[in-house]
Amino acid sequence: MQQHISSQMLKGILQGIMLIILSKKPDYGYGISKQLNQYGLENIPKGTIYPLLTAMEKRQYVEGRMQPSEAGPDRKYYYVTEAGEAAKEDFIQEWDRLAGTVTKLIEGEKE
């Protein structure tokens, strides 16, 4: 059974998720989309991924580099920069704080 995650909720954390994915291995837009699918985020439209990559590139969190592809035209692979690594670490710390707070609130509701 597929879980539905509110796109509004996901919108705020997708950049952090993509930085984590790209810090493991550089990838291109469609490859990132496939990885998101593997993590259970199947409903992320491609029209969300590419503008976010462009914004991340403008913030200098990632650097796009054209590379040859065995399956057709060159692809733009995204590499996390030093600023992107710092943003990823900030995201992880903020997520940990937020997740802890939400967990406490939810546990309080169950009592």
In sequence order, the β-bridge partners of residue 80 are 62
SS3 of residue 5 by DSSP: coil
Cα separation values, 109 from 102, 103, 105, Å: 11, 10, 6
% of the chain at pLDDT higher than 70: 91
| pLDDT tens digits, one per residue of 5-28 | 666 667 679 999 999 999 999 999
For residue range 48-92, list pLDDT tens digits in order.
899 999 999 999 999 999 999 888 899 999 999 999 999 999 999
Whether the pLDDT of residue 1 is over 50: the answer is no
Helix (H) or strand (E) holding 67: strand 62-69
